[in-house]
């Protein structure tokens, strides 16, 4: 059997029955195989004869009118040729071993095939599929779906507060280790100060009024009531429509994370800024959204529910922003309906399916940072790899292993103890804001947040009783394995990324681009950590503004000429 391998540097021919000799040319020649006889055109026959005679080869050859060299299938040749003055001469001849030549050819074929496969797969655009679900109790109700939208008001009463105070008063303190700060979790000494403030100074009724300053609603989707905040801008110029923006929270956050951002987006002080219409839903099982009553409600299901919510509100297209779980929910929304999501803005995007570029960047990025687009901050956050990527992940992922396996067990304890719940949640607002806060006696909590804001978020979990169902979201997502269709599927929606320096998991630009193929903006932020919307609302709002302006202007440029547009960037809809 004759094997012929063609590549850019030449033709390699050899016979698997007789590998004592091989034929190779260093330029691309034509060849043909006919009746088990191979021919290579253009090689000087006299040179072939000389070479074979020197090596003592017994070759049956003949010269045709076309000056073609023919040799039987049981013979192999090895030639080096070069082009000089328009003719081909044999430069040398020799013997190649089976191992070196076959290995080279097989390796070359694998590399070429791999590159072709990678390019083909990269060019494909897949769309995530998801079927409707029913998450209410029992079987789906007969008749038409209830599409009504009901106003909702956050409420409290004396009974709720008395129960809270009674439980706080009955808490049993336990001393922290000496000189442990927040390295063992929430420091008990500082926790007592937080509890004292909670019991004596924190005014939940006043915070409820603050929560209700924005309109709340509920609507039933797939059998469960979905809560959301919907803020429409006021006093818009005539003929102007605001840009719809969906913002999705994560754990252990809530819709309240966005409260300081909302006015910056719906009532911007800069007349050149875009005016947004903001929708902030609570993920089912979080806050005031009803918890699913059946197993299987994961991020894809949440994405589908939020698409239905936005459609019910009358939005045919909209922008989306997410962090933490909001990252994967909004990403799934872009994968489900890429034509509906006009732009996707994120501040958290760890590699869900690390590919070869990510692996190579980790291996070689420290030595060749420019090759992978790494800056000094990237190097500091990634290397040394074992310490910064492995050890740090282990330190901060203990909660995830519990919630991804047996959430109900620890959830029961947290659901009964407001102090335990506060310690569990607020410890994340310390370490995830800046991992160096682990070495502070107070966890650095009030350096970035007020105790009122922190305890308001805790109270949303406490009064709604949602801690168990919120933790189940980890179980539902991880129990299906890491190799889910959406984890392997790239996103082909215009994307903007705000890279905050103290984010829990650092993601360089190259890593973001592997998933988000239309990355339009990548902004290294001046400061901020995991809860960036709550910690740095001005920075986050401005980055959303810049990203959306860029998308709108590019769309206006493509449509200009067919329609007449106002020059102000906040004019979202075309004017007749």
Q: Is 498 exposed, middle or buried (0-12, 13-18, 19+ CB in 10 A)?
A: buried
Look up 324 and say whether it is catalytic: yes
Alpha helices in 136-289 (DSSP H): 158-169, 188-200, 204-211, 262-266
- Residue 247: HSE in the Cβ half-sphere, 13 Å Cα cutoff: 30
Buried/exposed 9-29: b ≥16 CB within 10 Å, e otherwise:
ebbbbbbeeebebbbbbeeeb
Both tokens of residue 429? 């607002």
Q: Which residue has the tokens 């906040």?
A: 570
Q: Is 285 left (phi over 0), alpha (psi -120 to 50) or beta?
A: left
Residue 251 contacts residue 473 (beta carbons within 8 Å): yes
Angle between helices 451-464 and 467-478 (to 10 degrees): 80
Nearest to 424 by CA among 475, 474, 467, 464: 467
> What residues form DSSP beta bridges with 221?
224
Distance of CA 199 to the CA centre of its chain: 40
Q: How far apart, in whole angstroms, are the C-alpha atoms of residue 158 and residue 160?
A: 5
Look up 36 and say whether it is catalytic: no
Alpha helices in 392-508 (DSSP H): 392-396, 398-403, 407-416, 418-431, 445-448, 451-464, 467-478, 485-488
Q: Please give the helix or strand (H or E) that residue 98 lies within, else none.
A: helix 98-123
Look up 152 and say whether it is catalytic: no
Q: What share of the chain is helix, strand, coil (3-state, %, to 5)?
A: 40, 20, 40
What 8-state DSSP symbol labels residue 387? I
Helices (H) and strands (E) in the chain, counts: 22, 17
Among residues 12, 78, 286, 324, which one is catalytic?
Answer: 324
Residue 301 contacts residue 97 (beta carbons within 8 Å): no
Distance of CA 386 to the CA centre of its chain: 22
Q: 337: how many CB neighbours lie within 10 A of its CB?
A: 19
> What residues form DSSP beta bridges with 6?
11
Edge to edge, the sheet with strand 224-231 lists 149-152, 216-221, 224-231, 276-281, 243-248, 318-322, 341-346, 495-499, 519-524
Among residues 12, 227, 530, 570, which one is catalytic?
Answer: 530
Nearest to 341 by CA among 243, 253, 273, 265: 243
Nearest to 510 by CA among 349, 367, 389: 349
3-state secondary structure 350-361: CCCCCCHHHHHH
Q: How far apart, in whole angstroms, are the C-alpha atoms of residue 426 and residue 446?
A: 11
Among residues 14, 228, 256, 474, which one is catalytic?
Answer: 474
Residues classed as catalytic: 324, 474, 530
């Amino acid at each position: 059997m004759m094997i012929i391998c063609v590549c850019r540097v030449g033709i390699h021919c050899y016979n698997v029955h007789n590998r004592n000799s091989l034929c190779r040319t260093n330029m691309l020649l034509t060849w043909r195989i006919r009746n088990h006889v191979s021919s290579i055109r253009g090689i000087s026959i006299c040179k072939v004869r000389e070479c074979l005679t020197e090596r003592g080869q017994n070759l049956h050859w003949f010269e045709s009118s076309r000056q073609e060299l023919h040799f039987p299938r049981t013979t192999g040749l090895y030639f080096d040729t070069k082009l000089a003055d328009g003719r081909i001469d044999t430069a040398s001849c020799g013997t190649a071993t089976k191992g070196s030549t076959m290995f080279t050819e097989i390796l070359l074929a694998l590399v070429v095939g791999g590159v072709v496969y990678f390019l083909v797969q990269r060019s494909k655009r897949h769309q995530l599929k998801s079927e409707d679900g029913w998450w209410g109790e029992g079987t789906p109700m007969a008749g038409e779906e209830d599409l009504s939208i009901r106003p909702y008001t956050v409420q409290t009463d004396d009974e709720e507060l008395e129960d809270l105070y009674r439980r706080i008063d009955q808490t049993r303190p336990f001393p922290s280790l000496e000189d442990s700060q927040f390295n063992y979790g929430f420091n008990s000494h500082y926790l007592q100060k937080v509890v004292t403030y909670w019991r004596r100074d924190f005014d939940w009724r006043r915070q409820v009024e603050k929560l209700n300053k924005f309109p709340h609603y509920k609507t039933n989707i797939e059998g469960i009531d979905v809560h959301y905040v919907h803020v429409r801008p006021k006093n818009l110029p005539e003929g102007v429509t605001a840009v719809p923006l969906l913002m999705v929270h994560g754990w252990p956050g809530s819709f309240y994370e966005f409260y300081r951002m909302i006015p910056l987006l719906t009532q911007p002080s800069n007349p050149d800024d875009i005016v947004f219409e903001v929708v902030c839903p609570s993920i089912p099982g979080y806050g005031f959204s009803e918890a699913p009553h059946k197993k299987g409600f994961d991020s894809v299901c949440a994405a589908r529910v939020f698409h239905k919510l936005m459609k019910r509100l009358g939005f045919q297209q909209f922008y989306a922003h997410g962090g933490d779980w909001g990252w994967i929910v909004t990403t799934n929304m872009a994968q489900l309906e890429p034509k509906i999501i006009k732009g996707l803005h994120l501040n958290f995007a760890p590699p869900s399916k690390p590919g070869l570029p990510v692996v190579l960047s980790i291996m070689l990025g420290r030595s060749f940072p420019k090759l992978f687009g790494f800056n000094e901050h990237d190097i500091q956050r990634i290397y040394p790899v074992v310490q910064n990527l492995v050890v740090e992940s282990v330190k901060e992922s203990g909660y995830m292993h519990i919630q991804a396996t047996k959430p109900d067990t620890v959830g029961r304890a947290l659901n009964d103890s407001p102090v335990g719940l506060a310690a569990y949640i607020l410890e994340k607002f310390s370490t995830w804001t800046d991992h160096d806060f682990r070495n502070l006696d107070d966890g650095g909590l009030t350096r970035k947040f007020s105790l009122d804001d922190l305890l308001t978020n805790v109270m949303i979990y406490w009064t709604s009783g949602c801690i168990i169902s919120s933790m189940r979201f980890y179980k539902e997502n991880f129990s299906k394995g890491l190799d889910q269709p959406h984890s392997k599927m790239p996103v082909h929606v215009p994307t903007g990324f705000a890279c905050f320096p103290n984010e829990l998991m650092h993601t360089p630009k190259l890593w973001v681009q592997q998933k988000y193929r239309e990355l339009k903006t990548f902004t290294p932020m001046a400061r901020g950590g995991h809860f960036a919307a709550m910690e740095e609302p001005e920075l986050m709002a401005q980055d959303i503004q810049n990203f959306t302006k860029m998308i709108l202007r590019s769309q206006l440029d493509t449509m200009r000429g067919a329609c007449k547009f106002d020059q102000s960037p906040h004019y979202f809809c075309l004017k007749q």
